[in-house]
Structure 1
Amino acid sequence: MGPEFYGPDTPAAAVGLLSIWILGLSVGLTACTATCLPFMGALVVGDGQSAGTAFRQTGSFALGKILAYAVLGMAAGLLGEVLLDVVESNLGHWLIGGVSIATGLWLVLAGKVAMGCATSRVMRGAPPFALGFVLSFVPCAPLAALLAAAALGADPIHGLAMGAVFGLGAALTPLFIVVPLLGRLGREMTAERPGLLLMMRWLGALILIALGLRRILLAW
Structure 2
Amino acid sequence: MNPPELAALFAPDGQVGLLGALLLGLSMGLTACTITCLPFMGSWVLGRAGGRGEALRHTGAFLIGRMLAYAALGALAGQLGSVLVEILKSDLGNKAIGLASTFAGLWLLAPMLKAKTPAAASRPVVFHRKGTAPQRGCGTARSGAALPPLLLGAALSLTPCAPLGWLLGVSAMTGSATAGLSQGLAFGLGAAVTPLLLVVPLFGSLGQRLTDERDWLTFWLRLAAGGVLIFLGARRFFA
Task: State the TM-score, normalized to the length of structure 2.
Answer: 0.82
Query: Alignment partner for residue 173 of structure 1, among 194, 203, 216?
Result: 194
User: Mapping of 1:64-213 within 5 angstroms?
Assistant: 64-110=65-111, 120=141, 123-213=144-234
SS of the residue 2:160 aligns to: coil
Cross-structure match for 2:29:
28
Distance in 2, Cα, partners of 1:121 & 1:196: 18
Cross-structure match for 2:136:
none
CA contact (8 A) 2:108 2:226 kept: yes
Cross-structure match for 1:58:
59
Residues 77-113 of structure 1: per-residue CA shift (max 9 Å, x gap): 0110111111121001111111111110001114668
SS of the residue 1:173 aligns to: coil
Distance in 1, Cα, partners of 2:12 & 2:91: 30
SS of the residue 1:62 aligns to: helix
CA-based RMSD of the aligned residues comes to 1.8
How many Å apart are 1:193 and its aligned residue? 2.4
Higher helix share: 1
SS of the residue 2:193 aligns to: coil
Q: What letter corresponds to residue 141 of structure 1 in structure 2?
A: A
How many Å apart are 1:194 and its aligned residue? 2.3
Residues 150-204 of structure 1: per-residue CA shift (max 9 Å, x gap): 0011010010111011000001111110000110011001114221111000000
Change (3 A) 1:58 1:158: same
Distance in 2, Cα, partners of 1:107 & 1:19: 39
Distance in 1, Cα, partners of 2:21 & 2:79: 19
Q: Structure 2: 5+ residue runs without aligned partners?
A: 1-6, 115-131, 134-140
Change (3 A) 1:112 1:56: farther
Q: Structure 1: 5+ residue runs without aligned partners?
A: 8-12
CA contact (8 A) 1:46 1:205 kept: yes
Distance in 2, Cα, partners of 1:57 & 1:139: 24
Cross-structure match for 1:10:
none
Equivalenced residues, count: 207
Aligned-pair identity (%): 47
Higher gyration radius (CA) = 2
Task: State the TM-score, normalized to the length of structure 1.
Answer: 0.89
